[in-house]
Structure formats: structure tokens, C-alpha cells
């Protein structure tokens, strides 16, 4: 049973981007290219895209007649080719090394192939329980992903600690009934059970 700040939890449920690794520069580069192709306000999109499935962001900003699935596929292909500057959050390798396979899961809004590429880029192993964009019908802030991960681990979501960095992800973790550790500056500390900058 993993322990965080002297409190035991049934499992740790990690978001990926912004939580296990920093892919912000790559994400922003690709989204800005996409926005330029379609005449969309990149700053407005980037302000709300973190932690949300790419397809859901495309749908939110789609211009009339846009093929959402095709555009999401273009974005995914572009992100697969751009891992420049993707780095691990300090201390995450040491933390993961202390966890048994049944102690943790990843719940990400990224497609599976992109998540695998980014985790490989930072040398982090794939967990046995790995929930990606394809595994849910509703993305964050819906709690479906965290509930599914807890179910696959055989634990109650209310007994888990979620690590998240985005407003959508924090909302999803809280809606699942889990404790939430906020990683980084995107969400106010008081929105979570804990607030950390990294895992050192």
C-alpha cells in the first residue's frame, strides 16, 4: 500500500502530461500550428486544452464543417513526431521505483500511442493499468478514467490518491471521490488535498 506524507492509500493514480512529465513546449508547438492552419485563436485554446482529450478540444474550437476525427488524427500524428523538450518531473523515477505494479496506474487524456512515446522518451515504464483516451467515452473533467483505473486495480477510487496538474484533471479526481495532489502551478493549492512542485 503506497504512502504519501504519512497517509496510506490503496493506489496512486497519475495523470501523465504535466504530472509525470513536462511536455508543455511540444504540446504548445503542435496546437499553435493547428490553430494557424484554421485561423483559430491559439492563446484561447492553449488556456483550456491542458488535461483534456485532443478530440474534445478540437470539437470545442471546430469551425463549421470541420472533420473532428480527422483533425484529432492530424494532431496526434504531429505530437508523435515531436518529443523535443519532453522531460521527467523531478523525482518521479525514484517514486515509481518504490511502487508495486498494483500500487499505481496512469490515467491520461492522451491517445495510447502518444502516451507510450512520451513515457519512453523519459525512460518511465508502462504501468500494468494504463487508461488512455481510447478507453473512455467521456474525457476529463468526467471521472470515468479514474474510476476505471481504480476498478482495474481492484480498489475503490475513494481510497486512492490522484496526481494531477490541470483544472479538468483535478475536477475529475475530485468527482471520482479521490484525494488529489496538485502538481505544479496550473491549479490553486486549495483545490487539492496536497500541492507539490515535484516528487523530490
- Cα separation of 117 and 120, whole Å? 5
- In angstroms, how far apart are the furthest CA atoms of the chain? 53
Given 17, 22, 56, 103, the catalytic residue: 17
58-to-68, 70, 97 alpha-carbon distances in Å: 6, 10, 36
Catalytic status, residue 135? no
Residues in Cβ contact with 1 at an 8 Å cutoff, skipping those fewer than 6 apart: 8, 9, 10, 103
- Cα separation of 61 and 35, whole Å? 9
Sheet holding 104-107, edge to edge: 130-131, 104-107, 11-14, 160-164, 179-183, 194-196
Given 6, 15, 22, 82, the catalytic residue: 15
Catalytic status, residue 17? yes
Contact 155, 10 (CB under 8 A): yes
Enumerate the β-bridge partners of residue 131.
107
Active site residues: 15, 17
Amino acid at each position: 500500500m503506497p504512502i504519501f506524507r504519512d497517509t496510506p492509500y490503496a493506489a496512486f493514480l497519475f495523470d501523465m502530461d504535466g504530472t509525470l512529465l513536462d511536455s508543455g513546449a511540444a504540446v504548445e508547438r503542435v496546437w499553435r500550428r493547428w490553430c494557424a492552419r484554421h485561423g483559430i485563436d491559439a492563446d484561447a485554446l492553449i488556456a483550456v486544452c491542458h488535461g483534456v482529450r485532443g478530440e474534445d478540444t478540437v470539437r470545442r474550437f471546430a469551425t463549421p464543417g470541420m472533420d473532428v476525427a480527422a483533425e484529432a488524427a492530424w494532431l496526434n500524428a504531429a505530437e508523435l513526431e515531436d518529443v523535443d523538450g519532453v522531460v521527467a518531473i523531478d523525482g518521479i523515477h525514484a517514486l515509481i521505483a518504490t511502487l508495486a505494479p498494483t500500487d499505481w496506474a496512469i490515467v491520461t487524456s492522451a491517445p495510447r500511442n502518444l502516451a507510450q512515446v512520451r513515457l519512453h522518451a523519459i525512460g518511465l515504464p508502462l504501468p500494468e493499468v494504463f487508461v488512455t483516451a481510447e478507453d473512455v467515452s467521456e474525457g476529463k473533467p468526467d471521472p470515468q478514467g479514474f474510476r476505471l483505473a481504480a476498478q482495474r486495480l481492484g480498489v475503490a477510487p475513494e481510497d486512492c490518491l490522484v496526481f494531477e496538474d490541470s483544472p479538468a484533471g483535478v475536477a475529475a479526481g475530485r468527482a471520482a471521490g479521490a484525494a488529489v495532489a496538485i502538481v505544479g502551478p496550473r491549479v490553486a493549492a486549495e483545490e487539492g488535498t496536497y500541492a507539490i512542485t515535484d516528487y523530490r
